[in-house]
Structure 1
Amino acid sequence: MKKLMKDLGHEYADILFYTPSEFEKLGGLWPLRTGHNVAKANYSVGPRVIECYSFHFVLSGAVTLSTMGETVTLTKDSMFCLFPDVKHSYWVSQYDADEPLRLRWLAFTGPQAELLVSRIGLTERRPYMRNKLTAELSGLLQGCMQRMDNSQNEGDLQLQSMLYRLFELLSRPLPHAAEDKDWLRACLRHMETHYAEGITVADVAQFAGMNRSHLSSRFKDSVGMSPRDYLIKLRMERAGEMLRSRTLSVTEISHSLGYTDLYTFSRAFGTFYGMSPSKYRARLFLPNEMLNE
């Protein structure tokens, strides 16, 4: 399928609208529209809401997404989901004429849509994944567009099977070859850089483009502890260092390490060190002869 893209002012785009048949609506999932574009320097969409789900895949360049009070920049091979009735905006990041932002999208709905989106780990608060656009997935997206363009809208079973295949591919972890080489080093570096910012295991899994349970299992096999325990270890070791300074209160230290309240921090500290932060600090400054008594 070769079409000339239309000049829509802020982008060149090829957009295809699809009307599902009554037969397709008896199923759990059906497409509504698809397309791909090449963004211009002034490319910007929103703020707006849409009535369905829409997957957007970054073919090249970078896009900045803003939704639910969060803003994130996504680069090549990343994807994001627009949720129905959730306000969002997205725009081109650092326009480069040699490598402009190019997107491919697929909008869909149906009674199973919400469950399927949730099963692959996307939420309204975290609607994106990195490093997910494989060659197989890219080919499937192009195939979906071709089927939608050529379908007679009488219940295209192949198109329906392709939609479910899309979710199956998105649920896969990264290929093992890439994982074995890079995933652990990248995760450790990410955790050691951002542990004080309140990141969770789910955040690390999203960063790595891996299923959370798969990440936890492989991380524990490689490191000897779960990613949750490793994050706690990083925070507690830093807490011990910070308690050696008398310039910060225990509350200030807890906030500096990403804890939202003192109780949660103190409980984690007590589990790790076997004493409260205050007692730990007091022992640091006791005379040696008192510690030996």
Structure 2
Amino acid sequence: MRSNMREDHHEFLEIYYFTPSDFEKSGSAWPIRLGYNMAKSNYHIGPRTTPYYYLIFVLEGEGTFHQNSQTFALGQHDMFCLFPQVTHEYFSDANNLLRKIFVAFDGKQSLQLLERIGLNPHTPHLRGVLNAASIQLMWDFINAVSDSERQLTDLARLRCFYHVFDELTGIRKPTSVQDNRAMSWLEQGVAYMQIHYAEGITVERVSEHVGVERTHFTKQFGKTYGVTPMQYLQNLKMSEAKLLLEQTSYTLSEIANSVGYPDLFSFSKAFKKQIGVPPTQYRQQCRKANKPN
């Protein structure tokens, strides 16, 4: 067992948190968390969502992964990704415990980066694709971060992070344009909204992305999913806003910007209309409900 690991109720975990520099955030993607874990027999994550992308390497063991209404069996040398705002769940086989390395990251080009290694919201799992070199690069990243004698610079973090992806592109062909076309245009629209909802996208932009006229897109979307594309975008924003109100101390203005509203007034108005109470009151109610007796 590694010296920096701590014991939790369902795992042994070594994890490092990064504060991205302005330089990192000006780029296409940057690491946020890095870690290694060993599951206990009761290891079970979710169902839940994440605000970030999580790339996970299975080093040993077996388990099950659910995401986007799909189920995958996990095994040694598998690679899978948790996509933001998509409900996921995964757990270990009690008789063959999972051991994993992971990196969480963010950035406007994160989806494109994942597509280069064969992952996307509809293909979040790849079986047996990891080689010794890609796994070693993740260990090198963890070992560099855990070295207490030197603090990793932002450039060093980015070097380690992109080196992993560079190796992975060499062992896995990117998803081809033809593969993407096999996905229905409605599915492509949903995936686009799930990734970019906080960037002020419009229904028109989504319909242009999938190559369908807006009226037809809206009509077929409503028939298939039971809500309009605008309502779906709003639901994504509100789900993330509720999580941020519940789990962070971000100001309301910061939350408004994080979920794609231009100002606090429009965010507060939309939140009260959909949730029934203003965001400040919602946060107070959550804190009161979670306060120990």
Name the TM tier (shorter chain): 0.5 to 0.7
- Out of 124, 129, 134, which is 1:132 matched to? 129
AA at the equivalent of 2:81:
C
Residue pairs, 1:41-60, within 5 angstroms: 41-60=41-60
Q: What's the CA shift string for 1:132-167, capped at 9, x where partnerless?
A: 2211111111122233345646x5323212222211
Q: What's the CA shift string for 1:168-187, capped at 9, x where partnerless?
A: 222223xxxxxxxxxxxxxx
- Out of 144, 156, 159, which is 1:147 matched to? 144
- Normalising by structure 2, we get a TM-score of 0.55
Structure-2 change in CA distance of 1:210 and 1:130 (3 Å): farther
- Out of 158, 176, 186, which is 1:160 matched to? 158
Instruction: Indicate if the aligned counterparts of 1:48 and 1:89 stay in contact, CA closer than 8 A.
Output: yes
Identity %: 37
Quote the offset at 1:63 in angstroms. Answer: 2.0
Quote the offset at 1:2 in angstroms. Answer: 4.5
Q: How far apart in 2 are the matches of 1:55 and 1:46?
A: 16
Q: How far apart in 2 are the matches of 1:56 and 1:106?
A: 7
Instruction: Indicate if the aligned counterparts of 1:62 and 1:76 stay in contact, CA closer than 8 A.
Output: yes
Secondary structure of residue in 2 paired with 1:106? strand
Aligned length: 175
- The corresponding residue for 2:116 is 119
Residue 110 (structure 1) aligned with residue 117 (structure 2): no
Q: How far apart in 1 are the matches of 2:128 and 2:174?
A: 12
Gaps of 5+ in 2: 180-293
Secondary structure of residue in 2 paired with 1:143? helix
AA at the equivalent of 2:57:
F
Q: How far apart in 2 are the matches of 1:81 and 1:11?
A: 20
Structure-2 change in CA distance of 1:212 and 1:118 (3 Å): closer
- Tell me which structure has the larger Cα radius of gyration: 1
Secondary structure of residue in 2 paired with 1:55? strand
AA at the equivalent of 1:111:
K
Instruction: Indicate if the aligned counterparts of 2:116 and 2:173 stay in contact, CA closer than 8 A.
Output: no
Quote the offset at 1:4 in angstroms. Answer: 4.0
Instruction: Indicate if the aligned counterparts of 2:78 and 2:130 stay in contact, CA closer than 8 A.
Output: yes
Quote the offset at 1:58 in angstroms. Answer: 0.5
Residue pairs, 1:1-293, within 5 angstroms: 2-93=2-93, 95-96=94-95, 99-150=96-147, 152=151, 155-173=153-171
AA at the equivalent of 1:119:
R
Instruction: Indicate if the aligned counterparts of 2:111 and 2:120 stay in contact, CA closer than 8 A.
Output: no
- Normalising by structure 1, we get a TM-score of 0.55
Instruction: Indicate if the aligned counterparts of 1:49 and 1:86 stay in contact, CA closer than 8 A.
Output: yes
Instruction: Indicate if the aligned counterparts of 2:116 and 2:175 stay in contact, CA closer than 8 A.
Output: no
